[in-house]
Structure 1
Amino acid sequence: MGRTALLRYAAVLDGQTVNLHAELPASVTEVSEAEIVLRRRRRSHRLPVRVYAGEEGRLLMDAAVLLGSEVSGVPVTPGRWKLRLRLRSGRRSRTLPFLLAEPTTPRTGVTGPMTRSPLTAHRYRLGRTVRGDARVVCVEPRAAAEVADVHIQHARIDVDLRVFGIPMKEPWAEVLAAGRSVRCPLEEVQPGIWRLAVPLAEMLPAGARPEHWDVVVHPGAHAPLRLARRLHDVQAPGRVFTMRKILVSPRRGTLMRIEPRYTPAGNLRFTCSDGARAE
């Protein structure tokens, strides 16, 4: 205990920021400068942190470490990174590991902790060595197609999406219902953002029952990916990320009601029904 900084709180709440609160050992009574050091093999990154006196006179430390070069954070790469606290007082300096006695359990409710970065899909978590020293573990994004936005207009729906973990090589998409499939082109409207124009005219129900259409993205040199919305901290996305229904006339003399929504698994789904019967 006298040679470690005891973590009283340690969590990654937004998917890419490590939040730390630590108590310094009693032997540390004065600090002029302090910094967090993240080290892996021959690479290391440093950033200053705040050390202050607590109510009982012990020195405490608070830090919020943003991770990922894509978000202007610490450019950690996939792997395990040692987490250390470097202290200076005058000409003297010492480096302390962080002791993670018990991992922090975030509270749950309508929202919960993010398991991956909402912008890059990298996974950052706090781990422990066999001695209990805290470390940061970075895991590269797995292949996934993520909804970026849904544009619902009077008579059309466009979906913006991103693909993580794999390159996009001449990609295309399709909407699938039971026994039916419609191929759709993808247009890159921003770097890394692809747009799908939902083919409403080809999604008319074949009978009286509503039809459920899912979206599948074909990135090129990888297996197809089901389009979903999973990079969020919401516990019930189907109830929170609600979208309005629209009534359209995709063909002359026909009406169709279309309801965009998310399934319990987070997949984007369009439910199409006969508009005349719905009215």
Structure 2
Amino acid sequence: MKRPRPLRTARRRLSALRRRARSALLRRLFLPWRGQRAAVLRYAAVLDGQTVNLHARLPRWAGPDDGARIELLRKGVRRTAPARVYTDHDGAVAMDAAILLGQEVGGLAVDTGHWDIRLRLSEGARRKSLSLLLVDMPKPYGGPTRPMQVSGVTGARYRLGRTVTGSARLECSPPSPMAEVVRIAVSHSEVEVFFRVVGAEPRGTRVEFVASGRRLEEPVDRLDDGLFRVAAPLHRMTPRGDRPEQWDVVLRADGLPAMRLGRRLHDVRNPTRVFAVRESAVTGRDRTPLLVQPRYTPAGNFRIKCSPMTEAA
């Protein structure tokens, strides 16, 4: 059950107020206290859903370091990635790092939980570890695209957070099972839907095409490249009246909740417009002409709109 919109809006505003209050506290209290013993992040974001990008200013005593490393620490486990420490144009010492996450894509293997983020510097034969202070949380940007919420490959979720005293940390969450449409193919008599399942290994798969008061179940073909294929039974999807019918596509598998097919592993703000497919005229097995338009809802769910072909159309 969805929360009423005014309640969701109030919760978002309250959350934004808490973030601003916390940032103000960090600036007034912890930044003067820890600023000389920690690196202060000027930019921190997870781009493309699986790459952590960091830019920080270091304390005055630090200098350029060819052996600098970013460390991710959790319960005695340590993962490291290279960092670049250099003198900036204004004479300050800065640090840049780009950390690819996820063993499946050739990045760091990080499991579910909170990971502390630290910068390790070389100092002769010694190594010095610095916390990374995250004073301001990443702000979403405008435009036709948005930050990726999850990895487009694995579906895992990576978010930047911070401790009570402002130290940056990485929050890793496992992928939620989802059925992701890869491509569709419209022919003169059918719509083929190719999809993959993220976050689960399905068994006993079948697909249901669901409209108001109607439900059609179709078998699923498993392909060699890890994809699944199902064909819409258009000859059975002709509207019963003179109005169009919207068909949702639902994957069912043994031991898994029902999953609507859609496109969610992307950075597009308006999937309805960006992933638009033109309307096509097809002819079913009973030779009844039909107007078919595959489309995506604003939430990314896949639908097939079937309209009777009238003389005017």
> Which TM-score bucket, shorter chain as reference?
over 0.9
Q: CA contact under 8 A between 2:63 and 2:85: conserved in structure 1?
A: no
**TM-score scaled by length of structure 2:** 0.85
Distance in 2, matches of 1:53 and 1:101, equals 22
SS at match of 1:238: helix
Determine the structure 2 residue equivalent to 1:49. 83
Q: What is the CA-CA distance between 1:63 and the residue it aligns to?
A: 0.9
Match of 2:247 among 202, 213, 231: 213
Determine the structure 1 residue equivalent to 2:226. 192
Determine the structure 1 residue equivalent to 2:203. 169
* Residues 278 and 147 of structure 1: CA distance in aligned 2, closer, same or farther (over 3 Å): farther
* Bigger proportion of residues as helix: 2
Distance in 2, matches of 1:273 and 1:30, equals 66
Q: CA contact under 8 A between 1:100 and 1:134: conserved in structure 2?
A: yes
Q: What is the CA-CA distance between 1:115 and the residue it aligns to?
A: 0.8
Distance in 2, matches of 1:212 and 1:260, equals 10
Instruction: Identify which range, 249-258 or 121-130, moves more after superposition.
Output: 249-258
Distance in 2, matches of 1:10 and 1:155, equals 50
State the aligned residue count: 279
Instruction: Identify which range, 123-132 or 194-203, moves more after superposition.
Output: 194-203
Q: CA contact under 8 A between 1:31 and 1:87: conserved in structure 2?
A: yes
Uncovered stretches (5+) of structure 1, i.e. residues with no partner: none
**TM-score scaled by length of structure 1:** 0.95
Q: CA contact under 8 A between 1:30 and 1:89: conserved in structure 2?
A: no
* Residues 87 and 121 of structure 1: CA distance in aligned 2, closer, same or farther (over 3 Å): same
1:265-276 pair list within 5 angstroms: 265-276=299-310
Q: What is the CA-CA distance between 1:30 and the residue it aligns to?
A: 4.2
Q: CA contact under 8 A between 1:32 and 1:89: conserved in structure 2?
A: no
What whole-Å deviation, never above 9, does each CA across 1:144-172 have from its counterpart, x for those lacking one? 22212212234322111122233301111
Distance in 1, matches of 2:290 and 2:146, equals 37
Residue identity opposite 2:146 in structure 1: G
Distance in 1, matches of 2:109 and 2:64, equals 31
Match of 1:234 among 268, 275, 291: 268
**Percent identity over paired residues:** 46
Distance in 2, matches of 1:155 and 1:3, equals 68
Q: CA contact under 8 A between 1:11 and 1:106: conserved in structure 2?
A: no
* Residues 85 and 125 of structure 1: CA distance in aligned 2, closer, same or farther (over 3 Å): same
Distance in 2, matches of 1:277 and 1:70, equals 53
Residue identity opposite 2:194 in structure 1: D
Q: What is the CA-CA distance between 1:278 and the residue it aligns to?
A: 5.4
Match of 1:108 among 133, 136, 142: 142
Determine the structure 1 residue equivalent to 2:74. 40
Determine the structure 2 residue equivalent to 1:98. 132
Distance in 1, matches of 2:53 and 2:81, equals 14
Determine the structure 2 residue equivalent to 1:149. 183
Determine the structure 1 residue equivalent to 2:171. 137
Q: CA contact under 8 A between 1:117 and 1:123: conserved in structure 2?
A: yes
Distance in 2, matches of 1:215 and 1:177, equals 9
SS at match of 2:152: coil
Instruction: Identify which range, 39-48 or 132-141, moves more after superposition.
Output: 39-48
Residue identity opposite 1:127 in structure 2: G
Q: CA contact under 8 A between 1:243 and 1:261: conserved in structure 2?
A: yes
Match of 2:63 among 25, 29, 49: 29
Higher RCO structure, 1 or 2 (CA under 8 Å, sep 6+): 1
Instruction: Identify which range, 122-131 or 36-45, moves more after superposition.
Output: 36-45
Q: CA contact under 8 A between 1:216 and 1:226: conserved in structure 2?
A: yes
* Residues 60 and 210 of structure 1: CA distance in aligned 2, closer, same or farther (over 3 Å): same
Match of 2:259 among 225, 230, 237: 225
Determine the structure 1 residue equivalent to 2:9. none
Q: What is the CA-CA distance between 1:251 and the residue it aligns to?
A: 2.5
Determine the structure 1 residue equivalent to 2:24. none
Instruction: Identify which range, 135-144 or 159-168, moves more after superposition.
Output: 159-168
The alignment status of 1:62 with 2:63, answered yes or no, reads: no
Distance in 2, matches of 1:62 and 1:260, equals 44
Residue identity opposite 2:167 in structure 1: D
SS at match of 2:242: coil
* Bigger proportion of residues as strand: 1
Distance in 2, matches of 1:142 and 1:53, equals 42
Q: CA contact under 8 A between 1:33 and 1:89: conserved in structure 2?
A: no
**Once superposed, what is the RMSD of the aligned Cα atoms?**
1.4
Determine the structure 1 residue equivalent to 2:296. 262
Q: What is the CA-CA distance between 1:198 and the residue it aligns to?
A: 1.4
Determine the structure 2 residue equivalent to 1:9. 43
Instruction: Identify which range, 149-158 or 19-28, moves more after superposition.
Output: 149-158
